[in-house]
Structure 1
């Protein structure tokens, strides 16, 4: 099968023909593209949606001239006459401006959009969807999405990690504007390092992604769009607080420097200073912290021929967790009280420059790069861990049409460098720890795309890389195919290889928040897996903005090698070694989104995950991975966007728990967790230049009982805070205020 895929990637006959109208939907005032607009042939049920670049393709139903109607929330509906001999049209929409008691109307796209125009299975969470629940950071951005699950990694530090397709987030690639972001040292706390108010939107791609971003994506890719000056407010302010007195402020300001150059400055500050211990175990439920993040981004556009994005991000965080009686000045490095102290410093510089070489051939050349330095000084009880990371990425990319616009090619060269120094001062709890890592990966790729802009799309890619740390040459084939058998439908298939270079402690920081002794039993190899996916999406459009979207997908991931962190052998130990045997994950998701009338949206989703791993020659269910998950998300917006109401229900099924049978009875857990429901709600009131919201998270007040094993003796051999399957905090109330100018 794998050899067959490689052959398909290299040779694929492509024959197709269709008569169609192509075009682009833009904002009449700014000439910027309008993504996900509704495009239809007037007087028929034939309709499509524009893609994320505002482009669309719709099949003619007649040889005569016709009218195309385009609509999007917040814009006036536009009808465009298309002569019989015209194949391309650009349609400009005018914003609606309705005044009623000084309340202005601003259109916003739906919360989550499934893009049927792409060959891969994509969803896009808009800025409107992100704001439907209190969103302090990227970690809170997926509450209304069933594809991505976010949970705590331990009950001490507040670290969070995502899951996709029944596997940990380290097997998904997280990018910020198509550049590597949350990885290595930021794997554990990085979800909190991207503020929610900075987000323009989040793209989610399930299964193997394009080869253009390297070989790391196994289960999916998340690409984060940050606010840009050309399509955002000149000034933005947001204040957030909740009932345990988390104080958060966001300030954004954009400005034009000259006719070609614009800039945006984004600042985020957060502080938690109230001690919260709702389960009375003397451990803080929420770490005390000070967080400051800043970003200065520049956007250069020279006559649409040269475009560049460059800037710098900086971060500083202090975090204190553990026993609420812990005093950093008095109890640090002692056994008086258990404390976890973390100090993070991070700086990133980045650039992305593109040159238009030939507009007729859509030929362009791009240079992308970033440089990251991350320093973490931390101590967990008596375990001191002070790693540093230096990472750099550089890519050269050439994109072009081939003999026509239906056939495209992308060629690229890339290199990435990672230096990780673990700096462990106390190693008595680690046996066989590997040396510090210095890893250089150099590669090249070719990706071919065929699209008849109607029924068929094929993307075949092949890349080759050499990894100096593992001394291994890696060939990565990937394929995506889309066929649209009916109007507004998409049947997709994907397959490909993905690899991951494991960084045990940065990616599993919860191991340090326990008394487990760590045994590195052998030299670890690259994690290697194949992912296969199939999906079907269908959208039905009706009058007055009513629509129904249905999607179903299945993905399977087969590991040929996986790094096993064995917690089953002994509750006081963790054994790390390469996979011997099978490991796989099956994931099935069905989702229906309904807009029965203007302003009301409903999403109902179900996810089934079957994740297995071989541990000590036994194929077992992957611990802390729920088999069943359900989601119901309701949202209603009143006329003129005055009021917005959001309500979300999540169902989390039972999951297997790591073995604790050799602990004393008082410190033992059951084999499986209970199932539970989580409810969230938020109400937003919009005024002329500002809006206020109030919400409640975890309305039913469900929380894991006794999330820390042996909290009464944290320096003893049974202490473990890493077995987390449910929320640690119970019900939370929050309030926020947003001001836009």
Structure 2
């Protein structure tokens, strides 16, 4: 009898254990049912999609505790923990719109503020934006930002700079966590090797920001903000490879160290070693690269929630391009042409809030960049060191939000070229004050001024004013005006300075470049039925430059002549960004920019070289929650730009055609913590050699052994050189890399 009771009890227990239940519910947004929302039980393969009435049902759940998650594109994700014992459950989710415009930004005013409340228009691009078109570095990723273009300056070594609204690289300041450690010589290298998984967001300000950031922020600035360790995943790894043979790997982790410290560690490794010459000029189409970067960031808990963070990064790269038969044995010689660059740099940056009753932060950074490179048989050895310290006092008095700052910046630069007669070493002290006045919820006014003392140029003042008017919750008008300045640096990595011994001629005492800018921005939001909304963001700008300093290599081929422009230059244009979120997992954005950049000297107006008159970018995404598949289509379009010809006989195009780079990607994230992605880059297989007889001038004679010159140093046309050219790889306006497939795998443990 006892055995029978035990058998019956065991059978009932087994029956209950095998019984399954379901979770039913409803997803609402502002009381309205939200169709096609994604519902799933975390860490399981159980999930559902809401129907037209916002209802869902997840079946076959065994007894236990589950985290049920509701998500929908454009809405903040919600999670509820439920425990299933012996019956079905019903739950209701209320999702709120996740408006990217409410992101917290720092760059515009040097303090955290809602993007909607900032009097300075700031564009924000988060990690999701970077994942739509995975790239091995931030430099390439910026090609999908409206009005921003990574410009390659050399067909062989692939170095370049970043143009904002058509202005060249020296006018763009690049920051990491607000610190000016990426500058001048190091722009391309400083933007490589930062794992995309460690980037919280990228903030872009278009127009002068010198009143807060000093020299170099004349055309605009880009601030790359890395994640706080507490916000990063516990472990992450992401790697992808392309059909061209490129391989990129990001990996990292975070860990608690004791009770008061958290550390975030990230590494990036990139390798490309394939010899590809699709344009048949015996030169590599893409620079071969081998680089590694190690990043570490510490966050310390202090009393009264005071901040203290410290970060460091080391970067090393070996890159080369040139004739296909080149190897290290030919480095620096004149037998086989190659451009070989060894780069070693380290960076340190931190933020420490002083233990005072007032909110005072001390921010600091230091970077050391060492470059050992050769261009054919011409060595280019350069060092750049930047030290930076800044005290910021944030004080609120009634409706005045005040900011006081004191800055000390140390710049050191030296190289072995004739453009640098002696090491450029200077320490620049600065002070600035800013007052943001809130009249009411609709209107605010920002006033600011900065004072810099440069021993080479004396006193420099840069004021600015910004006005924000918000007539409704869906409309914002911003008017910004101010000045900018840039001090001259007589160093360059241009090939023209490395082609032979040139005398440096400074015709006058060089004055800092000055700019005067006005920018009008209008932002409009539309909320439609069926969970759709649109954002329109449009700007018009005008910038006037005086004292522009442009090195002249053309007047005399034996000289580099520096002087201030005898006239003025201008930058003016219009830009429009449209972001849209539709139902059913569809979202998209499109941007367009029209610009006119020119200089006028002695009454003669000329267009700036390598500057497009119009450009466009777009991104369209679709997420199918039922299959866990996401599709991304991104692209960019550039109008004609004037190209650097070598003379009247040069047969290459004087203007580029309108050209476009387009990419497509498919991502599957149906596995726990894993995602798989792949796609095609440069779908149109566009390269700049199409329509040109050649890209690199005199590729068959890279050391100009068969070039004849007259007594004035001008090239003479001969039977072997009918176009009167010298070897020149600077005729470049886009990448030589054609169509290619890519495949990647990512893992993240939160």
TM-score range, shorter chain: 0.7 to 0.9
- For residues 510 and 433 of structure 2, what CA distance do their matches in structure 1 show? 30
Kindly tell me: are residues 389 and 280 of structure 1, through their superposed partners in 2, closer, same or farther at Cα, counting changes over 3 Å?
Answer: same
Structure having the higher Rg: 2
Match of 2:544 in 1: 558
- Cα distance between partner residues in 2 of 1:241 and 1:287: 16
Corresponding residue of 2:337: 338
Q: Does 1:397 align with 2:392?
A: yes
Q: Is the 8 A contact 2:234 2:253 kept in 1?
A: yes
How does 1:685-724 map onto structure 2 within 5 Å?
685-686=668-669, 687-705=671-689, 706-716=694-704, 718-724=726-732
| TM-aligned CA distance change 1:657 to 1:394, over 3 Å | same
Is the CA contact (8 Å cut-off) linking 1:109 and 1:126 kept in structure 2? Answer: no
CA distance in 1 between partners of 2:77 and 2:662 (Å)? 38
Aligned length: 637
Residue from 667, 689, 699 that aligns with 1:684:
667
**Greater shift in the superposed pair: 183-192 or 343-352:** 183-192
SS at match of 2:139: helix
Q: Is the 8 A contact 2:210 2:218 kept in 1?
A: no
Determine which of 471, 489, 502 is the counterpart of 1:485.
Answer: 471
**Structure 1's 554 and 120: CA in aligned 2 closer, same or farther, altered over 3 A?**
same
Alignment of structure 1 residues 187-336 onto 2, 5 Å: 187-209=187-209, 211-329=211-329, 331-336=330-335
Between the aligned partners of 2:488 and 2:82, the Cα distance in structure 1 is 55
For the pair 1:675 / 2:658, whether they are aligned, the reply is yes
Matched, 1:387 2:382: yes
Cα offsets for 1:573-620 (capped at 9, x unmatched): 864432111111112102222212242112222211100024676320
Which among 729, 733, 736 is matched to residue 744 of structure 2?
736
Partner SS, residue 141 of structure 1 = helix
Distance 1:732 1:633 in 2: 19
Provide the secondary structure at the position in 1 that maps to 2:197.
Answer: helix
Cα distance in 2 between the residues matched to 1:263 and 1:721: 44
For 2:247 and 2:389, the matched residues in 1 are separated by 38
Structure 2 length normalisation: TM-score?
0.79
Deviation at 1:304, TM superposition (A): 4.4
- C-alpha displacement of 1:385: 1.0
8 Å contact from structure 2 (residues 503, 558) kept in 1: no
The offset of 1:42, in angstroms, is: 8.2
Partner deviation per Cα, 1:199-226 (whole Å, 9 max, x = no partner): 2210112223373333432222211111
1:98 and 1:702 map into 2 onto residues whose CA distance is 53
Q: After TM superposition, list the pairs within 5 Å mapping 1:39-50 onto structure 2.
A: none
Tell me how far 1:381 sits from its aligned partner.
0.9
In 2, the alpha carbon distance for the partners of 1:526 and 1:657 equals 27
Shift of 1:353: 1.0
Aligned-residue CA RMSD (Å):
3.0
Asked if residue 602 in structure 1 is aligned to residue 602 in structure 2, the reply is no
Whether contact under 8 Å (2:209, 2:484) holds in the other structure is no
Q: Give the corresponding residue for 2:445.
A: 458
Give yes or no for contact 2:149–2:162 (8 Å, CA) kept in 1: yes
Q: Distance in 2 between matches of 1:652 and 1:260?
A: 50
**CA-CA distance at 1:250 after TM superposition:** 1.1
Between the aligned partners of 1:616 and 1:334, the Cα distance in structure 2 is 44
Name the residue aligned to 1:347.
Answer: 346
Task: State the alpha-carbon separation in 1 of the partners of residues 187 and 452 from structure 2.
Answer: 23
Deviation at 1:239, TM superposition (A): 1.0
- CA distance in 1 between counterparts of 2:427 and 2:535 reads 44
Alignment partner of 2:607 out of 621, 634, 637: 621
Deviation at 1:475, TM superposition (A): 0.8
Deviation at 1:696, TM superposition (A): 1.4
The counterpart of 1:422, out of the listed 415, 419, 422, is: 415
Q: 1:711 Cα shift?
A: 1.1
8 Å CA contact 1:417–1:439 kept in 2: the answer is: yes
Match of 2:526 in 1: 540
Rounded to whole Å, the distance in 2 between the matches of 1:284 and 1:268 is 24
Taking the aligned partners of 2:415 and 2:627, their CA distance within structure 1 comes to: 51
Check 1:504–1:653 CA distance in 2 against 1; reply closer, same or farther (3 A cut): farther
Asked whether the equivalents of residues 156 and 287 of structure 1 are also in contact (C-alpha less than 8 Å), the reply is: yes
Q: How far, CA to CA, are the matches of 1:642 and 1:321 in structure 2?
A: 41
Partner of 1:586: 572
What CA distance in whole angstroms lies between the structure 2 residues aligned with 1:622 and 1:577? 17
SS class of match (1:399): strand
- Could you tell me whether the CA contact under 8 Å between 2:429 and 2:452 is conserved in 1? yes
Matched-pair contact (CA < 8 Å) for 1:166–1:587? no
Moved more, 546-555 or 192-201: 192-201
Structure 2 residue runs of 5 or longer lacking an equivalent are: 1-28, 33-67, 84-92, 104-114, 708-725
Q: Is contact 1:134–1:140 with CA below 8 Å preserved after alignment?
A: no
Shift of 1:377: 0.6
Q: What is the CA–CA distance in structure 2 between the aligned matches of 1:199 and 1:228, rounded to whole Å? A: 9
Question: 2:313 and 2:545 mapped to 1: Cα distance?
Answer: 35
The residue that corresponds to 2:7 in the other structure is: none
Matched residue of 1:710: which SS?
coil
Distance in 2, Cα, partners of 1:515 & 1:679: 39
How far has the Cα of 1:367 moved from its partner?
0.5
Deviations 1:507-546 (A, max 9, x none): x434357679575443543222122111101112245542
Residues of 2 paired with 1:388 and 1:107: CA distance?
Answer: 51
SS at the partner of 2:336?
A: coil
- Helix, strand or coil: the match of 1:128? helix
Asked whether the 8 Å contact 1:133–1:695 carries over to 2, the reply is no
Q: Return 670-679 or 683-692, whichever deviates more.
A: 670-679
What is the alpha-carbon distance in structure 2 between the residues aligned to residue 108 and residue 574 of structure 1? 57
Contact conserved, 1:353 with 1:366, CA < 8 A, in 2?
Answer: yes
In 2 relative to 1, CA 212–357 (structure 1 residues): closer, same or farther, beyond 3 Å?
farther
The match for 1:134 is 134
* Cα deviation digits, residues 210-266 of structure 1 (max 9, x gap): 733334322222111112221121000111211221122111110111332111011
Distance apart, 1:685 and its partner CA = 1.1
Residues 293 and 314 in structure 2, CA contact (< 8 A), matched pair in contact too: yes
Secondary structure at 2:135 match in 1: coil
CA shift, 1:643, in A, is 1.6
1:355-397: CA deviation from partner (whole Å, max 9, x where unpaired): 4755xxxx41101111111111111012111111122101111
- Compared with structure 1, are the counterparts of its residues 160 and 192 closer, same or farther at alpha carbon in structure 2 (3 Å cutoff)? farther
After superposition, the Cα gap between the structure-2 partners of 1:631 and 1:296, relative to the gap in structure 1 and judged at 3 Å, is closer
Provide the TM-score with structure 1 as the length reference: 0.80
Instruction: For 1:349 and 1:491, locate their aligned partners in 2 and report how far apart those are by CA, in whole Å.
Output: 38
Stretch deviating more after TM superposition (138-147 or 623-632): 138-147
Q: Alpha carbons of 1:596 and 1:650: their partners in 2 closer, same or farther (altered >3 Å)?
A: same
Match of 2:65 in 1: none
Alignment counterpart, residue 657 of structure 1, candidates 625, 636, 643: 643
Aligned partners of 1:112 and 1:125 also within 8 Å:
no
| CA–CA separation in structure 1 for the residues paired with 2:136 and 2:293 | 13
